[in-house]
Chains A and B, each alone.
Chain A
Amino acid sequence: MNLLERIFDYPSATGALIVAGKTAAIYVFLIVGLRLLGKRELGQMSLHDVVLIVVLGNAVQNAMLGGDNTLGGGLVAAGVLLLLNRVVNVVLARSRRVERFLSGEPVLIVHDGHVLRGAMSREGVTIEQLHAALREHGIASVGEVHMCVLEVDGTMSVVPRQASVLKTRRHYRGLRLP
């Protein structure tokens, strides 16, 4: 076998189609599975979640390729993943409904000095955590807050009544229930 043949090996047309089909199926499965897991943003992820994703990637490797070790096969699988990811991102950007379903929505916790207790208990945020978030933004009492929002990535943003610009980032992971 000459050098070029060894570098540019590729599967048959059927083989490439099979790899593409399997990869698409795996990608859809991964999205559904991760949605069921409940967490949607990296900010919410712990070390365990990262390990899970790395292991997932390895677990599905042979299912995607089915022992296809060719350069062409790998590139077909990579192309299918990139394309599908692009499609998901475009749909997320176009449709607010799909975005809300796949990414969750930000939740208002404090509005014009009033604590929205119902939203807080639904999201599992305690009053101590709320006060900690306010203090982080240099605010002493809820009365000074225009709005406080639990973002989809699990952080809390605070907009004071007199707009000043102060921001620290801290994750309240594990607080949001799936």
Chain B
Amino acid sequence: MTAVVYAARTLIVLVVLGIGLRLLGKREASQLTIYDLAMIMALSNAVQNALTGGRGDLSIGLASAGTIVVVTWVFARIIRRRPDLERRLVGVPTLLVYDGRPLRHRMRRELVTDDDLEAALRERSLSDARQARLVVLEVDGSITVVPRSEGD
């Protein structure tokens, strides 16, 4: 019975965290700052007692940890089966620069700063957004750059 209680609590916390991070978190994991990391660490500790009820019993720990593993596995399966759901759950790549023109409203929506964009361009040895054909914020949070080819 205890195991069921804590498995259910773990499930609820996971769902709430998943929705919360999707709505409020930022996607550019590669641009994760030390502040974001501190938030994630504090977050995991903040929900710890909610998961286990502040008790250190082995059975509770196993029920809670087991639920996390199963939920992650189920989530991965759902995404593989239903690519349409993946768009909603994981997001789609976002175009940040098209044909040398930065798309400011999208950058703002995805919380990509000018500094982030410029750093990504320099990483690909470009000095200016005008030299880029496409700059895309991928779902994994990295920023990819497709330069203009000669004669473009």
Query: Quick check: A30 and B42 within 8 Å, CB to CB?
Result: yes
Instruction: Give the complex CA separation of A135 and B4 in angstroms.
Output: 59
Residue of A nearest to B52 (CB): A69
- Residues of B26-56 contacting chain A, CB below 8 A: 26, 32-39, 41-55
* Contact status of A64 and B122, CB under 8 A, knowing A103-B115, A146-B127: no
1-38 of chain B: CB within 8 A of chain A: 1, 4-5, 8-9, 12-13, 16-17, 20-21, 24-26, 32-38
B42-74 with Cβ < 8 A to chain A: 42-55
Q: How far apart are the CA atoms of A125 and B39 in the complex, in Å?
A: 31
Q: Is B113 an interface residue (CB 8 A)?
A: yes
- Could you mark each residue 1-40 of chain A with 1 if its beta carbon is under 8 Å from any beta carbon of chain B, else 0? 0010011100000000000000100110011001001011
Whether the pair B13, A81 counts as a contact (CB closer than 8 A) is no
Q: Which residue of A lies closest to B148 (CB)?
A: A163
Q: Is the CB of B33 within 8 A of A103?
A: yes
Contact A74 B46 (CB under 8 A): yes
Given the contacts A42-B37, A53-B41, A159-B127, A68 and B46 also touching, CB distance less than 8 Å: no
Given the complex of chains A and B, what is the CA–CA distance between A155 and B125 in angstroms?
A: 13
**Inter-subunit contact B108/A93 (CB<8 Å):** yes
Task: Give chain B's interface secondary structure class.
Answer: helix
CA distance A57 to B46 in the complex (A): 9
Contact B37 A89 (CB under 8 A): no
Assuming the contacts A69-B54, A83-B24, asked whether A57 and B125 have C-beta atoms less than 8 A apart, the reply is: no
Known contacts A69-B53, A69-B54, A103-B33: does B38 contact A57 (CB below 8 Å)? yes
Taking CB as reference atom, which chain A residue is nearest B19?
A: A82
The residues of B with any CB-CB pair to A shorter than 8 Å are 1, 4-5, 8-9, 12-13, 16-17, 20-21, 24-26, 32-39, 41-55, 107-108, 111-115, 118-119, 122-127, 131, 147
Task: Contacts A23-B42, A54-B41, A163-B147 known; list 17 others, CB within 8 Å.
Answer: A3-B5, A27-B39, A42-B37, A53-B38, A57-B38, A58-B45, A69-B52, A69-B53, A74-B51, A75-B16, A78-B43, A81-B42, A82-B43, A105-B115, A106-B118, A146-B127, A164-B125
The 5 A-B pairs at the shortest CB distance, nearest first, are namely A74-B50, A57-B41, A69-B54, A157-B122, A77-B46
Task: Show the binding face of A for B, using Cβ within 8 Å.
Answer: 3, 6-8, 23, 26-27, 30-31, 34, 37, 39-42, 45, 49, 53-54, 56-58, 60-61, 64-65, 67-75, 77-79, 81-86, 88-90, 92-94, 96, 99, 102-103, 105-106, 137, 146-147, 149, 151-153, 155, 157-160, 163-167, 169
What are 21 A-B contacts defined by CB distance under 8 Å?
Answer: A6-B5, A7-B5, A7-B8, A30-B38, A30-B42, A37-B34, A42-B34, A60-B42, A61-B48, A65-B49, A69-B50, A74-B46, A74-B50, A75-B47, A78-B13, A78-B46, A81-B39, A85-B25, A93-B108, A106-B122, A157-B122
